[in-house]
Structure 1
């Protein structure tokens, strides 16, 4: 090594001084608060000053950071020893039976620790047992901004007018909880600044949405009978994830939209699983809806349709008429399955589908507004082509048609082009050459996190590559 290089290394090397401890307390607290709880606790071994700093630093407790062998012992110790505040507490791995035994007062301690983000998920519930009762003290954490509750039974006193109020709560996630319809309504009323709520697998029958602040509602795989949007002046999006199996068929989930003047994003609507009601009018397959049965504020609409079931194809056209101002349309093609009631795929019935689309009168959103359409999980069925030919004829404003092939259907855009050529429709071929984009790779991004992210303009849009 040259003398010059050696000189640089010598002057830049470690000189043995503890420069970190010389920093101001506020800066050290900021450093500790960004460490995992285990690393933050280890700083107490550095000396008395560090022990003081640990006790005065807002902590982020995530029990997943703790080794399984010590988790049940360490969590109650941290909750008891640290005075707070906690920036976040995430308990999803600990055994709550053990926590009750080690620190019976843990619920009341959480209520007094100034927690901003709290997640309590009881993963250790046995399938044949009822879920543990949620301590009522948890519903009195007035400092909360985000709350996630998973697999709990709500306290009985909540239905008796318990003193519950979340003045700062902006996001509420409920997963697999046993709760009444009234419990949910009470929580909404007690959260005056709530923006986002996610409901999945909860034991609810009716979801009645009344909130002056709510902007996003995500509902997934819950065996509810009715979702009613009552008084939600700021609601921007209503996202319906995978429906419960009980909702598919005759016992469809009723979606009632009475008052949502700013609803911009809606989906996935599914004819097989949902019955749509706008105001007092239910959208039926063989009854022409009145001109009042529309939601003009919706700009992004997503639907799932089995093109092999004529009843669903018919309802697709009915649903589209209810949204006159949609400019982005997502349609997911469901797989053909002979076991599905109403499934039809004979040549005669395919011809009937073709005649149906030929006879459909113009649909306002297609004729005047839709400029982008994405057909997800495209499979190359003839009935899908009949719908696309209708779009080619009835959507003059369309600038972009994106086909996202099902993974088993196509591997190259050339295969898609060959199938289009086999249709023998030059006009359709010319139209697709202007607007069609066939994707070769798709990064699926749709899920609860994307659906509830208000910074994402279109939650149904994947990360796509042509």
Structure 2
């Protein structure tokens, strides 16, 4: 577009070079390279701006050839190399030194997702050791690799680390965290370590999802603000030793999780003591099967450990094989909620409560009756329906009618949300976005 002066100079070319660099960053790599042909002043841009390479923006048929060529030919540093469709056979063949090149080009953001071909006998390939010595990296995402055991790690600028389907030992993971002195966000999804120990002076957010972890210990994390757990395995133990600024915690699953605070294990048949209280937590998420008596007792014990919670999420679990014929009836559960001693956070602190996957079972309503009688500070109660009742208008109306019968001391009304819950992958991504205040809102 001409500037109207007759000079023929485009308005874009009149922009400052820093702005032009920023514009090119948002273009697919093939278009960014082609921008040099737009005007004489643009010819230097491709060669001078830090490379942003995303293989998803390259036509699939051309990726094997284009990715190695772009990495080899670009003379400047690499701002971001995003390869979710990393085809290592072609990359190794065309550019054998690509791991070292990423280091030499001062890569800041790197995503390497190894694309496994089904007929390969050993799908998880060994991660090149050079990647773990790229001292310019600020954000690293690895998917489907085997960690090179015993490798020296040097990641002094790394702030965000995501590991998905990574084969690694307990000790190598602990060494990796220790070698990342400014690490703020850690996501571990479907990984192999059995024991995860978090010891970091900089870590602010940790997420463990869909994992086989048997024990997660928060050893010494003075800045840790949120600890998120999604779909833990049976028998997992969570131990909190030192996390003085922990603000958001969940999901603590009463079905499978053993919670230890300091040296004390939280039990359903033992009153919580001063040594098993975490006063810093403000947002708490729990999972419970309201049909299992032992689980609702554990729910009460968990709630007593976090006296200052003001936002409470409770996920109502499916009534699966764990509910046996000799489980107490809902009348027995109702008696428990009627006779239980006050729970401090519910009585004096909780202002917002969300019940997820609500199906309208009588045991769920018995808990809501307890909340209605005791939550003196409650300002908002959202009941999010389970997907199985969405197809039944009669069931939805029945739940609405029962919710209307609840009377709260703060004169609020329970609101029923009839919409499906967000997918687990979206919830995993959202949980580590520190600008989102509540990681369990969905």
TM-score by length of 1: 0.87
Go from structure 1 to structure 2 and tell me whether the alpha carbon gap of 1:430 and 1:130 turns closer, same or farther (over 3 Å shift): closer
Distance 2:325 2:371 in 1: 22
1:332 matched residue in structure 2: 315
What whole-Å deviation, never above 9, does each CA across 1:71-96 have from its counterpart, x for those lacking one?
01111111111122121101111311
Go from structure 1 to structure 2 and tell me whether the alpha carbon gap of 1:155 and 1:16 turns closer, same or farther (over 3 Å shift): same
Go from structure 1 to structure 2 and tell me whether the alpha carbon gap of 1:125 and 1:240 turns closer, same or farther (over 3 Å shift): farther
Structure 1 residue 459 displacement after superposition: 1.4
- Secondary structure of the residue aligned to 1:366 is helix
Go from structure 1 to structure 2 and tell me whether the alpha carbon gap of 1:115 and 1:350 turns closer, same or farther (over 3 Å shift): same
Matched, 1:439 2:388: no
What whole-Å deviation, never above 9, does each CA across 1:191-225 have from its counterpart, x for those lacking one?
11111000001111111000000000011011011
Matched, 1:219 2:208: yes
1:4 matched residue in structure 2: none
Match for residue 310 of structure 1 among 280, 290, 293: 293
Extract unaligned runs of 5+ from structure 2. none
- Secondary structure of the residue aligned to 1:234 is coil
- Secondary structure of the residue aligned to 1:235 is coil
- Secondary structure of the residue aligned to 2:430 is helix
Contact 2:354 2:381 in 1 (8 A): yes
2:258 matched residue in structure 1: 275
2:85 matched residue in structure 1: 93
Comparing 13-22 with 184-193, greater Cα deviation is found at 13-22
Matched, 1:110 2:111: no
Structure 1 residue 394 displacement after superposition: 2.1
Matched, 1:395 2:371: no
Matched, 1:295 2:315: no
Distance 1:33 1:401 in 2: 44
Contact 2:147 2:166 in 1 (8 A): yes
Structure 1 residue 442 displacement after superposition: 6.2
- Secondary structure of the residue aligned to 1:217 is strand
Match for residue 257 of structure 1 among 240, 244, 267: 240
What whole-Å deviation, never above 9, does each CA across 1:352-382 have from its counterpart, x for those lacking one?
1111112211111112211211111111100
Comparing 299-308 with 45-54, greater Cα deviation is found at 45-54
1:17 matched residue in structure 2: 8
1:234 matched residue in structure 2: 223
Structure 1 residue 441 displacement after superposition: 4.2
Go from structure 1 to structure 2 and tell me whether the alpha carbon gap of 1:80 and 1:313 turns closer, same or farther (over 3 Å shift): same
Comparing 233-242 with 360-369, greater Cα deviation is found at 360-369
Distance 1:295 1:105 in 2: 50
- Secondary structure of the residue aligned to 2:366 is helix
- Secondary structure of the residue aligned to 2:158 is coil
Matched, 1:174 2:163: yes
Go from structure 1 to structure 2 and tell me whether the alpha carbon gap of 1:211 and 1:21 turns closer, same or farther (over 3 Å shift): same
Matched, 1:64 2:45: no
Match for residue 139 of structure 1 among 132, 135, 144: 132
Distance 1:67 1:218 in 2: 33
TM-score by length of 2: 0.91
Contact 2:378 2:410 in 1 (8 A): no
Structure 1 residue 24 displacement after superposition: 5.5
Distance 1:395 1:27 in 2: 54
Quick check: which has more Rg, 1 or 2?
Answer: 1
Distance 1:345 1:372 in 2: 35
Contact 2:3 2:9 in 1 (8 A): no
Distance 1:40 1:395 in 2: 58
Contact 1:310 1:344 in 2 (8 A): no
Go from structure 1 to structure 2 and tell me whether the alpha carbon gap of 1:14 and 1:386 turns closer, same or farther (over 3 Å shift): farther
Distance 1:61 1:12 in 2: 32
1:193 matched residue in structure 2: 182
User: What RMSD in Å do the two structures reach over aligned CA positions?
Assistant: 2.5
Distance 2:362 2:257 in 1: 25
